[in-house]
Chain A
Amino acid sequence: MTGFASAMSALTGAATLTLGQSDFPHPMHQVTLAHYLVLSALLFGIGLIGFITRRNLIIMFLCTELMFQAAGLALIAFSRFHLNHTGETFVIFVLTIAAAEAAMALALVVLLFRRRETLDASAWSELRG
């Protein structure tokens, strides 16, 4: 729950954010870099597990998006931590590209569906050695 709480506080009071590394703040009152990283890791983990366990192509695609955003989140957190805008700029570009990529991926999914009349990923296994 710490992750959620810190995320909320990060959204509500950005001003109160303390990013000093020397004095580790109280977990419930101050949102630190670690919170963001943990959240990012969680998002990534959820995406990964979803990607591995689900067979529906659309869900799998969503899971990859989730992992993607986890990486984005980590980038922004580091960007803020270092007090520059490199990471943020990067994420904005990545989001743009991701939007395009999502359009393509969904189009692919549609085409794959038309071929097999199913969204099950295991229907595609021609690359077996």
Chain B
Amino acid sequence: MLGTLAQHGTDTVGDGAAAAGAHVAHAAESIAAATPGAELMLAVPALTLLAAILCGLCAAFRVRSKLPAWLSVGCLGASFVCVLLTYLNLAGEHGAGGIVPRIAHGFEWLTFQWGRGGTGGEGRSFVADFSLYVDSLTCLWMLFVTGLATLIGLYASEYMVGDVKTAGYSRFFAAFNLFVLSMSCLVMADNLVLLYLGWEGVGLCSYLLIGYFYKKPSAVAAAKKAFIMNRIGDLGLSLGLMLTFVHFGTVQFNELWPLIQSYASGATPTPFIVQLIPVLFTVGAFGKSAQIPLYVWLPDAMEGPTPVSALIHAATMVTAGVYLVARFLPIYALSEWALPIVAWGGALTALLAATIGMAQFDIKRIMAYSTVSQLGYMFAGLGVLGSVGAASHVFTHAFFKALLFLACGAVMHGFAGQLDLRKLSGVQKMPGWRIVGLTMLVGCLNLAGFPLITAGFWSKDMILADAFSHPQFRAIGWILLITAGLTAYYTFRVYFRVFMGPKYFEPGDELHAAAHGDDHGEAHDAAGHVTHSAAPHGQHMAAEGALAAKGHAHDHGHADAHGVFHPHPPGWAINLVLTILALATFAAIPLFFIGDHHGWVGDLVHGSSSNPASAAAAHEAAMHGHGPHGGSFLGMDPHAVMYYVSAVVGIIGIGIAFVLHLAGRTTPATSRADALLPALGPIARAAQHKWYVDELYGVLFVTPLRVLSHIFHLIDKLLVDGLVNLFGWLPRGIGSFVRRSQSGVLHDYGLRMASGLAIILLIVLLGVLR
């Protein structure tokens, strides 16, 4: 059976190769390649699954130590090493850093055959194996997914320390590993079904981890919101998957590429179905990657623990949508509408999220909106066929956004859950917070696109230049440029208010007590002094302090008896991870200057299915040459001038933030921006309320559905339940009459028996007499 399939496969490849094009040859190569060399990649799902199971066993055997964390970090680190070894082994095969695509076969998973098989060609089959498709795009994603997962696991080992004494610690790391397992399935799948499995898996893990504090109603609501929003997107992806099989007859990537390429010459018009597939994929990608109109779940997802926000909701899972589009760029290029949808969706999301982020006060939420905004950039980049820029931005964004989240998490952890930027100030000057402050500055510079010395600048710049170089997407370029300025402003708004300025803090109403069970050490005489109400904190200490003290004993002790709050600065694990990530963002800069195609990432992208050159050629051919060339930025070559333009925009944004939020600020709440706020009136208020999008969705979808569900409930209660109850009541009603005959008196029974006998006798007699 497999033999026939392989035969079939090579046949189609042959046809495709006839249709020519560099990418086709490259795809054919990949199929002929039962090329070994990527088998080590199979260790990644195996190791993460092992870690998840071990963490589950830790929970079952009531392990109350940091064992699950070290197990996870060990397994994740080992899987990172596996990926790195595989990549280093293969690198250079294709371009400077690219590799030839190959398949690492795991095991046979789903194989169906029906119809008349054999030589007739009437029979059809459906094959989806657990096999990994390893090409350079896969390697890029897997490198940062496993690398960041290792680092963030290390960070979480300290961050989640308050839960060591509960089953929560094991539960957290089990879900954490399960997430990496699902993500590796998603990224390395060699067919759409395995990709879909991973897609759903990361959604599930995201749900589990957002709802980690399951006793907190807002966390539970956020988890449900994320899950339901993702379901809408997943519907799109699953429909796209089905259409792909219906039209192409296969879901395996290496069989799909040549089939897709056969339309790329433009000789045959692209059928409607093929044009529809990428649009449906886009729905899925926009759901997973939080783009308009499905973006509202991501900011709420910040209810989860911060390591989760950093890994899943900033660095890895939310880039799955970008991965999907990048992976299927060849089919996007064939569609008339898919690329503009992606480009405009991304650009508008970038702008909208940035404007909301400007008006928020919760620093973690600001970072969430900035993630949505940056994902918008990536989609816009893909939409203008700049997959190199998009992938570069995914790569740099993964590091600096994880860094930003982890720094915010350190602040939240140390200040009893305080996230309001109006209640924190000058954190960097407090003892023990220097590393957090400096690394936060590095992250902010990257996000703001500070010129030359940040990786974020180079990747963002690439997207902007790509947008401007397509005349029909010039508007998108302008939107993204404005957004870049806004991004720089809101990023440094956070930095200047929280980390600079006079020292001041108010502790949060720590949920550590209820959910974390953490304590806040006293050893450092923090500068900020607050008359914190002693009672709730004192109680919290009594209940939890003794438990959690052990984990923190190395450099800070317990709370003092007065219950005065003192922030505790992060320990070695958090500081180490922050430092590594900050250095990584710098280390990424040279990567932009090696290789033949705009850097190392460019080489990887060019060596994969998301090769922008072949996609552009296919797009042009399929659109019959309607795609005009040679866009410009105000008459200049965008690729040449965009460095200066985006640098100026970024610095202007930072400058405005400096003037409004740092200069002349003596207390946390007296910045010039606050004086400016009333002047803006309703605009500021609307932005603060997230442009009332949640309310709009509430009116448009939630309320009608709720009304409908009430109607259904009523029907169910009256009609269905009524019918069922009727059948219950009927015997009961009859019974209540008949029951009276059972008097329990023996004579009654006798008498009744006798009368029955008499009646029978009478009937017999009458019959005889007649």
Chain-B contact segment, one of A7-15, A48-56, A79-87, A99-107: A48-56
Q: Known contacts A52-B750, A52-B754: does B740 contact A125 (CB below 8 Å)? A: no
Query: Is A126 positioned at the interface, with any CB of B under 8 Å from its CB?
Result: yes
- How does the 8 Å CB contact mask read for B588-601 relative to A, with 1 for contact and 0 for none? 00000000000000
Question: B740 — which chain A residues lie within 8 A by C-beta?
Answer: 129
Most buried by B among A53, A60, A124, A129: A129
Query: Is B746 positioned at the interface, with any CB of A under 8 Å from its CB?
Result: yes
Question: B746 — which chain A residues lie within 8 A by C-beta?
Answer: 60, 121-122, 124-125
Question: A55 — which chain B residues lie within 8 A by C-beta?
Answer: 747
Question: A26 — which chain B residues lie within 8 A by C-beta?
Answer: none
Q: Known contacts A48-B754, A51-B750: does B745 contact A122 (CB below 8 Å)? A: yes
Question: A128 — which chain B residues lie within 8 A by C-beta?
Answer: 742-745
Query: Is A127 positioned at the interface, with any CB of B under 8 Å from its CB?
Result: yes
Whole-angstrom distance from the CB of B373 to the nearest CB of chain A?
75
A121→B747 contact, CB < 8 A: yes
Query: Is B531 positioned at the interface, with any CB of A under 8 Å from its CB?
Result: no
Query: Is B119 positioned at the interface, with any CB of A under 8 Å from its CB?
Result: no
A125→B744 contact, CB < 8 A: yes
Question: A52 — which chain B residues lie within 8 A by C-beta?
Answer: 747, 750-751, 754
Whole-angstrom distance from the CB of B305 to the nearest CB of chain A?
62
* Tally of contact residues, B, Cβ under 8 A: 13
Query: Is B741 positioned at the interface, with any CB of A under 8 Å from its CB?
Result: yes
Question: B751 — which chain A residues lie within 8 A by C-beta?
Answer: 52
**How far is A129 from B744 in the complex, measured between Cα atoms in Å?**
7
Smallest Cβ-Cβ distance to B758: which chain A residue: A48
**How far is A48 from B758 in the complex, measured between Cα atoms in Å?**
11
Whole-angstrom distance from the CB of A109 to the nearest CB of chain B?
13
Question: A129 — which chain B residues lie within 8 A by C-beta?
Answer: 738-744
Question: B739 — which chain A residues lie within 8 A by C-beta?
Answer: 129
Smallest Cβ-Cβ distance to A60: which chain B residue: B746
**CB within 8 Å of A: which of B617-663?**
none
Smallest Cβ-Cβ distance to A126: which chain B residue: B744
- How does the 8 Å CB contact mask read for A105-129 relative to B, with 1 for contact and 0 for none? 0000000000000000110111111
Question: B747 — which chain A residues lie within 8 A by C-beta?
Answer: 51-53, 55, 121-122
Smallest Cβ-Cβ distance to A127: which chain B residue: B744
**How far is A37 from B20 in the complex, measured between Cα atoms in Å?**
113
**How far is A48 from B746 in the complex, measured between Cα atoms in Å?**
13
B745→A125 contact, CB < 8 A: yes
Whole-angstrom distance from the CB of A118 to the nearest CB of chain B?
14
Question: A122 — which chain B residues lie within 8 A by C-beta?
Answer: 745-747
**CB within 8 Å of A: which of B520-552?**
none
Smallest Cβ-Cβ distance to A122: which chain B residue: B745
**How far is A129 from B751 in the complex, measured between Cα atoms in Å?**
17
Whole-angstrom distance from the CB of A95 to the nearest CB of chain B?
23
Most buried by B among A122, A124, A128: A128
B743→A125 contact, CB < 8 A: yes
- How does the 8 Å CB contact mask read for B738-768 relative to A, with 1 for contact and 0 for none? 1111111111001100100000000000000
**How far is A121 from B750 in the complex, measured between Cα atoms in Å?**
12
Most buried by A among B740, B746, B751, B754: B746
Smallest Cβ-Cβ distance to A55: which chain B residue: B747
Question: A51 — which chain B residues lie within 8 A by C-beta?
Answer: 747, 750
- How does the 8 Å CB contact mask read for A50-89 relative to B, with 1 for contact and 0 for none? 0111010000100000000000000000000000000000
Question: A121 — which chain B residues lie within 8 A by C-beta?
Answer: 745-747
**CB within 8 Å of A: which of B707-754?**
738-747, 750-751, 754
Question: B750 — which chain A residues lie within 8 A by C-beta?
Answer: 48, 51-52
B754→A127 contact, CB < 8 A: no
Question: B744 — which chain A residues lie within 8 A by C-beta?
Answer: 124-129
**How far is A55 from B750 in the complex, measured between Cα atoms in Å?**
12
Apart from A121-B745, A125-B745, 11 more pairs, CB < 8 Å:
A51-B747, A52-B747, A121-B746, A121-B747, A124-B746, A128-B742, A128-B743, A129-B740, A129-B741, A129-B742, A129-B744
Q: List 16 A-B contacts (CB under 8 A).
A: A52-B747, A52-B750, A52-B751, A52-B754, A121-B747, A122-B746, A124-B744, A125-B744, A125-B745, A125-B746, A127-B744, A128-B745, A129-B738, A129-B740, A129-B741, A129-B742
Closest 3 CB pairs of A and B: A128-B744, A129-B742, A125-B744
